[in-house]
Structure formats: C-alpha cells, structure tokens
Amino acid sequence: MSGDALSGDCLQVLWQEFVSKMDHSLKIFLQEQCSFGSLDENTLTIVTPNVLARDYLKKQNNLEQIERNIRDTFNNNSIKVEFVTSLDRTTEKKEKHNSTSKKNSTSEAIKWIPDLFSDTEEEVVSDITINVTKDVREESQYQTNLQKDLLFKNFVGGRNNDMARTAALSVAQSPGVAYNPLFIYSGVGLGKTHLINAIGNYVREHYPSLKVLYVSTEQFTNEFVESIRLNKQQSFRNKFREVDVLLIDDIHFILNKDGFQEELFQTIDFLRRNKRQVVISSDCPPSEMKTVINRLKSRFSWGLIVDIQKPNLETRIAILKQKIEDLHINIDDDEVLNYIATQFHSNIRVLEGALLKVTTYCDIFKKPISLTYTKEALKDLLKNESNSDLTVEDVIDVTCEYFSISKEDLIGSRRDQKIARARQVAMYLCKELIKGISYLEIGSYFGDRTHSTVINACHKVEDNVNESFYKMLIHNLKENLKKS
C-alpha cells in the first residue's frame, strides 16, 4: 500500500485507528507528542518532537507494538516504520531550498543531546554548556522549597520510569535548552515529586548562580489570590518570573478560574521565551485536564510530555533495597523484600511505608526481621491495601494472560466468543474493583467504546455471576490481580 494510493484524509483516519490500538500510555504519547509523517512505498514515517522521544519509541518493547499495529491497520505485513524528529524534517526542507540560514541555538542544543537510551548503566553527562546571560550573582539565601533528600542518585530507575528519569536528568544538566516545559505525569506515589525535586537539587549543586523555585499548585494559587487581595500582583509576578528554573507540582489541582489560568499561562510563556526552564507535574496528561483552557494546555505540550508507570516486581525490590541502604537497616532475608514487593504493587510511598512498619514492629517487639514477623506486622495494612492501587492496565494485562489473547484483540473490534467474553469480564472487573472509575473512562481504555457499551458488558457479567463457570473465572482473575 503506497501513500500515493490513499488520500491525505484517509491516511489520517488510518493513523488515528493505529493510535487507538496502542497501550494507553503509548496512545497518549503518540497523540500528544507525535504525528503522521508520510507513507512512501512500504515505509511509514512517524514524526517525533526530539531525539529523546524518537529513541523512546525505538526501544524494543515499544517498537514491536508499533510495528505490529501499523501492519494490522494498513493490512500490510511488509510495511516498515521510520522515526524522524521535527528537527530532521525542518533541516531537510532547508536543504531542499538551499537554505544556509543559521539554526537557532535551541535547535542545535537538541541535536547535541547524547544517546539517552544506551544499554550502559553510567549516568548521562551532557556536553552542553549553560551560558548564563544575566550577571552572575552570588548564591543568595532565597527559599527554594526543595526537599534536599530527593536526588537522582536515590531515584530507582526501571522500565516504568526510564524516559521520565532520562528527560529530567537532561533538563537538569541543561536547563532552558531543550524539553521546555518538561511535563511529567503519573498516578499517586510513583515518583514525579521526587524527580522534579531532583532536577532542582541538581541545578543548585552544578549551577549555583541559577535561581530555582519549587512550588505546589496549591501554594501558587494561594499566593495569587493573596496578591489580588493585597493589590500586590506585580510582586507576585516578580517572584515567579525572576527564577531560572520553576518547578510546579500537582498542576491537576489548578484553579478553574480564567484569571488564574491566564496568569499561569503568562508566567510559563515569559520564562520559556527567556530560555528559563519550567517543569510541571500532574496526575494526567494535558489532554485529559478538562478544566484547563486550551492555550494553557498548548503551552504544557510545547516541550516534552513523559509519564511514569507502575514499577514491576524487580523495580519494587530495588526500591526497597535502596530504602534499607538509605536507612542503614540490615535485612538479610530476601524473602522479606520479595513478600513486601509482591503485596504492594504500585504506590511507592505505601511500599516504603510497609517496609518501615516491618522494621518498627520488629524493633519494638525485639523480633528478627523474618518472613513470619513481616506477615504479622503487615496483616492490618494488607486489609486496607486490597485493590486500592489497581489500574485498568492491570486488569487488561491479567485478563489477556489468563485468556491467552493479545491486548490488541481485547481492546479491538473482534467479536468471537472467547474475546468478547474476556472483554466483558475485564470491563466488569474494572468497574467493581477500581474505585471511582466511570463507565466512560473504562471505555476509553477499550478502544474508545461508549459508556453504554461498557454498561451492557457489565450487566451481562452480573447476570451470570452466580453461575459456577463465571464464579470460578472471576475468582481466578481476582487472585491473579492480587499477585500482579
């Protein structure tokens, strides 16, 4: 299938169909950050915003999913995928027109960013030199609000956060040069606050003349309201626009008022135009922020959007090992760490809290830290844990594994009995086990199905839930979800 044989509108429809088949996090990434480039012969080109995004998509597990869904969507098993950056395309256009105009410094800096996804464990060190254009000032005693113990060296990396960590480190090494703003989103307790504080602490250590300010959205809001009450709006603006690195945490708590959002828009716009770094964290990507004005969403999306996923078992164990090293605790029994990591799936704060409860319990009662006493210490906490960290992705993954079907089939359009039943049960489990989730939100994970489709699926399972087959099926899936 060649692009010449298809209209531009048709290609865009196929592109959207392809994107809808991806895992939720990759779907958001492709929607927010990438675009369809071209289809020439058997090569489809995907345009990415920068080198980091390109290399992220080229990682094996992402590339396999992309190629599989591209071939399925375009009904062509020989089609190949090529990734280019928007800079590559701009350069190509300039060469075609024999342009010799000098590229701007930001574009050049993006080209210089090193291979951030090499297989080595060594920390990336950027070759970019930060030139402070303002007069170099002595280190002042202003309040940074940073948590000094949240550093890159004690942030445990894994497949769930490799892109976010790498992007954060790149920004810290070269503030204001690339990925501006950097937008990090994740669920509760997965490390986004740790990362943005790590950026600030790194900048303070390596560029002491740069002014860094960490602020929660609640604090930003309160100071804005207070500035209006006291008629000190200019002082408010000066505080937030005179910094070199502004770190805004939990932007999803943004006030639903045009005046406030306009002030935030102007602040981010001012800092970005003056090549000062902005880093923002949220519990969802900009496209899902329903109460945010469109042009503010646009500003959020101008740089790089990265997410942090739930850590897998290996990463959770590594997090616990890092914690016992930080606290100088001696735990020789690997079964203890494996048990804790298995029971607490996705919230790192809860995971670390469970470890502290075990060590405190054994210290108070003068018991050795063993598997037996670990279970005893955590029995009350585990009652409350139940499915509090469960996500739709968890349910989808466990359902696919149980039924031996692909994720693409589960969320796709196939309707044969096995897949239809698996899809209905998965939707039912999402509604039953995930607190506060709506039918519409569930549908968005299953190929953007309507809320009425999800309701019908749930009712079909509810009507049969007392039959022995469904009772055993749901019981087994719930048990597997506890182990995931």
362 and 456 fall within a common domain: no
Q: What's the number of domains the chain is made of?
A: 4
8 and 21 fall within a common domain: yes
256 and 352 fall within a common domain: no
Cβ neighbours of residue 179 closer than 8 Å, sequence gap 6 or more: 50, 52, 167, 170, 171, 303, 304
SS3 label, residue 277: strand
153 and 283 fall within a common domain: yes
Contact assessment for residue 268 and residue 235, using Cβ atoms and an 8 Å cutoff: no
Give a yes or no: residue 119 inside a domain.
no
Give a yes or no: residue 134 inside a domain.
no
Cross-sheet strand order for the sheet of 35-40: 35-40, 43-48, 80-85
Q: Are strands 245-249 and 212-216 parallel, antiparallel or unpaired?
A: parallel
Give the span between the Cα atoms of 467 and 474, in whole angstroms.
Answer: 11
Look up the domain containing 318 and give its range. 313-385
Sign of the dihedral through C-alpha 251, 256, 260, 263: positive
Give the span between the Cα atoms of 289 and 99, in whole angstroms.
Answer: 40
Give a yes or no: residue 110 inside a domain.
no
338 and 276 fall within a common domain: no
Q: What is the CATH number of the domain that holds 158?
A: 3.40.50.300
Give a yes or no: residue 71 inside a domain.
yes
- Domain limit, last residue, from 260, 288, 308: 308
Report the predicted TM-score, pTM, of the whole model to 2 decimal places: 0.66
380 and 318 fall within a common domain: yes
**pLDDT 10s digit of each residue in the chain, 484 long?**
555 556 677 888 888 888 888 887 788 888 888 889 888 878 999 998 888 888 888 887 789 889 998 988 888 888 999 999 876 655 555 555 554 444 444 444 333 343 444 443 334 444 444 444 444 444 444 689 999 999 999 999 888 898 999 999 999 999 998 788 999 998 888 899 999 999 999 999 999 999 999 999 989 989 999 999 999 999 999 999 999 999 999 998 886 766 889 999 999 999 999 999 999 999 888 888 878 888 898 888 888 999 998 888 889 999 999 999 888 888 878 899 999 998 887 688 889 999 999 999 999 999 999 999 999 999 877 765 555 567 888 899 999 999 999 988 999 888 899 999 999 999 999 988 887 788 888 988 898 888 889 998 999 998 888 888 888 899 889 888 877 6
Give the span between the Cα atoms of 479 and 475, in whole angstroms.
Answer: 6
221 and 72 fall within a common domain: no
322 and 225 fall within a common domain: no
